[in-house]
């Protein structure tokens, strides 16, 4: 009993850390980028700092400390798969961070309810998911809720809204491309190797828009660059990635979805306290509540689909130990093994769990336990 209680306490501790880190990174980014606070209105630069730091840590873990082995990456796979995925990944972060300059954190969280809609639309367009009446009605409910919430926004800004929605659809397209491009390659990436290959490529992709859009302005303006502020910001963003993996390993996809909903409400409340200009209206709450009900129902339907194809409960499945996973499963298997980036068969992009501040890792671990059970059954 004591062992069970200690494990339960540890699980809730991980969830608490996840909620704190996820909310903290969002509020931290807003504070850094806001012209009213830290006054560093350069979202591309901030995103490049995150990518550069994450890539450097991943390189150290793979090449120096050899925590995990790199996959057998060919130039063809890198050019046709990693580069396009990295481009959309970088774009989603760039547009999402730019939105902080124009709209409030609370309204951004409300707009992020569109993520399942965007992913479902992209999956249907790319023929990786089927158009179903029940899912379509849920997406319609979410969209109506977001429209109502937007109508009730006092400080509505078209530019900020367009940036945020564009970032959401860029991330949705990245999820679908991850499935479409890597599915036939049988490529398995764990959290460290994901950052190892994609973060440096995303950094290089962002260099061109940074050089054109932000570098000239940075040379003219007297900006303040505090090393410890940006270092701590990058550390928090990287730590969030790995905490999500730990939470998934301890609980499962259902729990992380519920924790994400709780985090959104906490974040909306906190943002109005920390940033007084973030005013919430009754129409905001009503619209977001409608959108959230659609998201919850969508998650329920997706979990139900997974349970129908897998008799074991999603939350009861053990997580794959990426630290010890140095077997041939991390190697390029060729076109004969049809699996997605996680090596799990049959998982569509619209079934992924996505945390907005760390989409690269969180999108790949939603059903990682299911893949581990497949491995165990084959031994």
pLDDT of residue 166: 97
State the chain's mean pLDDT as an integer. Answer: 81
Q: Which two tokens stand for residue 252?
A: 């499962």
User: What is the C-alpha to C-alpha distance for residues 225 and 47, in angstroms, rounded to an integer?
Assistant: 15
Expressed in angstroms, the distance from the first to the final Cα of the chain is 32
pLDDT of residue 73: 86
User: What is the C-alpha to C-alpha distance for residues 90 and 68, in angstroms, rounded to an integer?
Assistant: 24
Low-confidence ranges of the chain (pLDDT < 50): 314-346, 363-379
Cβ–Cβ under 8 Å, residues 271 and 27: yes
User: What is the C-alpha to C-alpha distance for residues 92 and 170, in angstroms, rounded to an integer?
Assistant: 5
pLDDT of residue 42: 95
User: What is the C-alpha to C-alpha distance for residues 339 and 335, in angstroms, rounded to an integer?
Assistant: 9
Q: How far is CA 59 from CA 45, 51, 66, 325, 348, in A?
A: 21, 12, 9, 17, 29
At 326, phi and psi to the nearest 5? -120, 25
To the nearest 10°, the Cα dihedral for 157, 270, 361, 213?
40
Q: Which two tokens stand for residue 189?
A: 């990436």
pLDDT of residue 356: 59
Q: Where are the alpha helices (DSSP H) in 188-325?
A: 191-209, 215-220, 227-250, 253-274, 282-309
Residues ≥6 apart with Cβ < 8 Å to 329: 188, 343, 375
Q: Which two tokens stand for residue 108?
A: 């951004």
Burial class (CB in 10 A: 0-12, 13-18, 19+), 225: exposed
Residues ≥6 apart with Cβ < 8 Å to 362: 241, 244, 256, 352, 353, 354, 355
Cβ–Cβ under 8 Å, residues 172 and 88: no
Among 171, 186, 135, 125, CA closest to 328 = 186
SS3 379: coil
pLDDT of residue 336: 31
pLDDT, tens digit (0-9, with 9 covering 90-100), for 35-45: 888 989 999 99
Residues ≥6 apart with Cβ < 8 Å to 376: none
pLDDT of residue 32: 95
- Rounded to a whole number of angstroms, the CA Rg of the chain reads 20
Q: Which two tokens stand for residue 304?
A: 């139900």
Burial class (CB in 10 A: 0-12, 13-18, 19+), 355: buried
Residues ≥6 apart with Cβ < 8 Å to 40: 32, 33, 46, 223, 224, 225
């Amino acid at each position: 009993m004591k062992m069970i209680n200690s494990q339960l306490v540890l699980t809730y501790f991980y969830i608490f850390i996840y909620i704190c880190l996820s909310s903290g990174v969002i509020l931290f980014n807003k504070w850094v980028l806001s012209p009213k606070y830290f006054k560093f209105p350069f979202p591309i630069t901030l995103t490049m700092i995150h990518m550069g730091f994450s890539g450097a840590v991943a390189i150290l873990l793979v090449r120096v400390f050899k925590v995990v082995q790199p996959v057998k990456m060919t130039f063809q796979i890198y050019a046709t798969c990693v580069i396009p995925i990295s481009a959309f990944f970088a774009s989603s972060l760039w547009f999402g961070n730019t939105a902080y300059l124009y709209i409030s954190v609370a309204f951004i969280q409300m707009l992020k309810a569109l993520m399942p809609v965007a992913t479902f639309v992209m999956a249907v367009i790319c023929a990786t998911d089927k158009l179903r009446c029940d899912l379509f009605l849920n997406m319609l409910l979410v969209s109506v809720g977001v429209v109502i919430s937007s109508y009730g926004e006092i400080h509505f800004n078209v530019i900020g809204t367009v940036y945020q929605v564009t970032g959401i659809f860029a991330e949705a397209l990245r999820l679908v491309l991850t499935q479409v491009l890597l599915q036939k390659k049988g490529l398995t990436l764990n959290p460290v190797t994901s950052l190892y290959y994609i973060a440096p490529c995303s950094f290089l992709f962002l260099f061109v828009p940074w050089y054109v859009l932000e570098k000239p302005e940075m040379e003219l303006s007297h900006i303040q660059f505090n090393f410890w502020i940006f270092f701590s910001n990058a550390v928090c963003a990287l730590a969030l990635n790995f905490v999500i993996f730990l939470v998934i390993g301890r609980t499962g996809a259902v729990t992380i979805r519920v924790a994400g909903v709780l985090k959104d409400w906490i974040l909306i409340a906190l943002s109005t306290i920390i940033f007084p200009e973030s005013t919430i209206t009754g129409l905001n709450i009503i619209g977001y509540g409608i959108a959230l009900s659609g998201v919850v129902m969508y998650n329920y339907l997706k979990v139900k689909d997974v349970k129908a194809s897998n008799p074991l409960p999603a939350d009861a499945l053990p997580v794959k130990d990426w630290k010890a996973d140095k077997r041939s499963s991390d190697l390029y298997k060729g076109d004969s093994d049809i699996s997605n980036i996680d090596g799990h068969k049959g998982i569509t992009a619209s079934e992924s769990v996505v945390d907005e501040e760390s989409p690269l890792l969180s999108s790949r671990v939603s059903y990682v336990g299911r893949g581990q059970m497949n491995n165990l059954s084959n031994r």
